[in-house]
Amino acid sequence: MGFLCTRVEWANLVEIWRRADWVLLGLASLTTPLLIALLAVRWRLFLLKQNMHLPYRSILSFVWTGQFFNAILPGSTGGDVSKIVQICSAVPDRKADALASVVTDRVCALVSIFCLAAVCFWFGPSSGIVIREVAQIGGIGSPVGFGFATLVIVTLCVLALFARRPANRERMGRLIAALRVGLRWDVTLGYALVLAVLIHFVVFTGFFVFARSLGISLTFWDVLQFLPVVLIVTLLPITVNGHGLREAILILYFNQMGISMAGGTAYSTTEIVVALSVLIVGTDMLWSLPGGLLMLRKSD
């Protein structure tokens, strides 16, 4: 991300933001709290599969606090860890079921975005170019990938040692049983998968409205063709929280699809993408602050 920032004229970024449509910016910003509310609904479905009946207000509080940790920590696991800690504190006698609800909720989200990305990657533009670009950036970020692989190996070794004790094997058995319940096909799981797809479309809509607020000439169909792939690529352990990698892939797609600012302005593709990305990331961080306030309130 720092490299990309050296390739832009900051005066041009300020000019792009100054010309933004603030009404559309406000509407785009509102997709973030809507997203958080829907995430709480989806998680509640998996809690119900574990026969755990918590008030929606409490679940929303856990999710919003998780969004705060997602915003300030690398990757998206910080939010899941936060939710696990909070739900286990709320129901200490149902820790296995609580953990399983978070894991199955994450699996549901991954399955839905992988399916959407597979369709878009197959029918969308520049699939081969995207693969080469990711491979090139992956070479630059290989130390991060090596560190991630090392972390996975160490975690597996720790789990193997953990499972040697009979009491721990019993705990793992309860967790596996709870995971089977959560992933067993039924109407609730079907609703959760449909809701997961809907949540991704809220993300796509927010991206589209943010782009149009800056005067970027793209359609919602354009967004559907590349954004699912971008979201999948940023899950790769190449850069911290996908920063830099996300912008590089967006620049690639914008160039290939001829996406630019309306009115024939002379801003470069890099400047357009960085202006859009900073705006979206900054808005997400602002909306995550109530989660941090909720955390402070609980600690008091």
Evaluate whether 106 touches 80 at the Cβ level (below 8 Å).
yes
Question: Is residue 114 in some structural domain?
Answer: yes
**CA dist 113 → 42, 121, 179, 201, 292 (Å):** 15, 12, 20, 10, 27
SS3 at position 261: strand
* CA dist., res. 31 & res. 206, Å (int): 6
What is the domain count for the chain? 1
Domain-embedded: residue 300: no
Establish if 124 belongs to a structural domain. yes
pLDDT in tens, 30-81: 999 999 999 999 999 999 999 999 999 999 999 998 888 877 665 556 678 8
- How does the average pLDDT of the chain come out, rounded? 81
| pLDDT digits 0-9 by tens, 162-217 | 666 777 667 778 888 888 988 899 999 999 999 999 999 999 999 999 999 998 98
Residue 129 lies in a domain: yes
Domain that holds residue 24: 2-295
Q: What digits encode the pLDDT tens for the residues 207-257?
A: 999 999 998 988 898 898 888 888 887 776 666 666 777 888 888 888 888
Structural domain contains residue 81: yes
Q: Return the axis-axis angle of helices 22-29 and 31-49, rounded to nearest 10°.
A: 10
Alpha-carbon distance 281 to 72, whole Å?
Answer: 11
